[in-house]
Amino acid sequence: MSRAVRAPSAPGGHAIKRARPLLGTLVEIGAHGASAQAVDAAIDQAFAAVQAIHELMSYHDPASDVSRLNRAGAGCVTVHPHTWAVLALARDVAEASDGRFDISIAPELVRHGYLPRHAGFAQPAPEANWQHIELLPGDRVRLARTLHLDLGGIAKGYAVDCAIRALRDAGMDAGRVNAGGDLRLFGAAEEAIHVRHPHAATRLLPLCRLSDGAVATSATYYAGRLMDGRAVSPLIDAATRRPCAGGRSVSVLAGRCAVADALTKVVYADPEAALSALRHFGAHAVVLDADSDTPGHCRARASAPGGWHDLALTGPEAIAA
């Protein structure tokens, strides 16, 4: 299979690409299959899969599993198997990162204006964290303490994985799903993946060539806000429970998009400490940081088993003023 997904008139098949507003961003789904009808039907299934995850894991929707858990306070709640699976993966990432990935940071996101304040939620217990979320058989979840969880750091990647599965199940021979930067593809020839300059979103850097895999990027060029005159990002460092500084872009490559999505937060908060978590999941990362010595330039480094190694950027990477 060497045809690219995007080839609009690839011989022997049809390629279609569509987009819908979902997960608070634009979700783009492309696929290649035998007939236009088959591809459209497969894309419909994939959008339905994303929609289902959106409804289960939305912090905003009062009917979601996440809101049910947040309203419940300490106690036991039965959730959808998808929700349980995401909570289980979130636990794995939290354990592998010594708690640098923590889905109980919703109160901090509310405090900084990134999530709405819900009236019906029980008051979170002080010091409550991911370790107080117990996963029990039968898709049950027990909160040992009242806490507020937000799956915003992992559910988007999981939704991408579900959409990819829907495309495969529908018999597509190639597909791509991009949910606002959480991207996974299968079946096609290698494709180039680009990331943005952390300080200038119009500058793109070719990051890698990817086939059959996922990449997720966390950066703050679109999401940063001012709070009391200080720039804050929606990425919370679980170690300090404070927003990370801006000016960094982190891309993680992994087999599953949910893993890549979650690990971007771990790497963003502390690249050095993230190496063991990356190794644990067989993932790789590239970090771009604004170069404090040369305004407008940035430095790049990639993860390797022995540590981070610097990547030389050739050519003019300076930002036009």
Partner 1 sequence: MQHPPAWLIAPALASFVAAPAFAVQYLDIGQAQKLFFPQADSFTAVPLLLTGEQKTFVEKAAGVRMRYARQPVWKVSENGTHLGWVAQDEVYGKHEFITYAVALDAAGAVRGVEILDYRETHGREVRNPNWRAQFNGKTHGAPLRLDNDIQNISGATLSCKHLSEGVRRILALHAAALK
Residues of this chain that interact with partner 1 (CB under 8 A) are 4, 6, 17-21, 24-26, 28, 40, 176, 178, 180-183, 190-197, 201-211, 213, 215-219, 222-223, 249, 251, 253, 284, 286, 300, 302, 304-306, 311-317, 320
Structure tokens at 185: 């593809």
Least distance from C-beta 214 to partner 1, angstroms? Answer: 10
Least distance from C-beta 138 to partner 1, angstroms? Answer: 35
Structure tokens at 119: 């009236």
234 neighbors 246 (Cβ within 8 angstroms): no
Measured from the CB atom, is 55 or 134 closer to partner 1?
55
Measured from the CB atom, is 42 or 143 closer to partner 1?
42
Measured from the CB atom, is 169 or 190 closer to partner 1?
190
Measured from the CB atom, is 93 or 215 closer to partner 1?
215
Measured from the CB atom, is 18 or 132 closer to partner 1?
18
Least distance from C-beta 318 to partner 1, angstroms? Answer: 8
Measured from the CB atom, is 67 or 249 closer to partner 1?
249
Least distance from C-beta 24 to partner 1, angstroms? Answer: 6
Least distance from C-beta 314 to partner 1, angstroms? Answer: 5
Distances from the Cα of 265 to the Cαs of 14, 188, 209, in angstroms?
37, 28, 22
Tell me how far apart the alpha carbons of residues 168 and 185 are, in angstroms, rounded to a whole number: 11
Closest CA to 53 of 66, 43, 42, 70: 66
253 neighbors 214 (Cβ within 8 angstroms): yes
Least distance from C-beta 70 to partner 1, angstroms? Answer: 22
* Phi-psi group of 113: left, alpha or beta (phi > 0 → left; psi -120 to 50 → alpha; rest → beta): left
237 neighbors 207 (Cβ within 8 angstroms): no
- List the beta bridge partners of residue 183: 178, 215
**Cα 221 from chain centroid?**
16
- DSSP conformation class of 131: G
Least distance from C-beta 273 to partner 1, angstroms? Answer: 19
Question: In this structure, how many other beta carbons lie within 10 angstroms of the beta carbon of residue 73?
Answer: 16
Distances from the Cα of 102 to the Cαs of 110, 132, 144, 235, in angstroms?
15, 11, 15, 11
Tell me how far apart the alpha carbons of residues 178 and 181 are, in angstroms, rounded to a whole number: 6
Measured from the CB atom, is 69 or 283 closer to partner 1?
283
217 neighbors 251 (Cβ within 8 angstroms): yes
Measured from the CB atom, is 86 or 214 closer to partner 1?
214
Least distance from C-beta 126 to partner 1, angstroms? Answer: 31
Measured from the CB atom, is 53 or 141 closer to partner 1?
53
What is the radius of gyration, based on Cα positions, of the chain? 20
200 neighbors 317 (Cβ within 8 angstroms): no
Least distance from C-beta 153 to partner 1, angstroms? Answer: 12
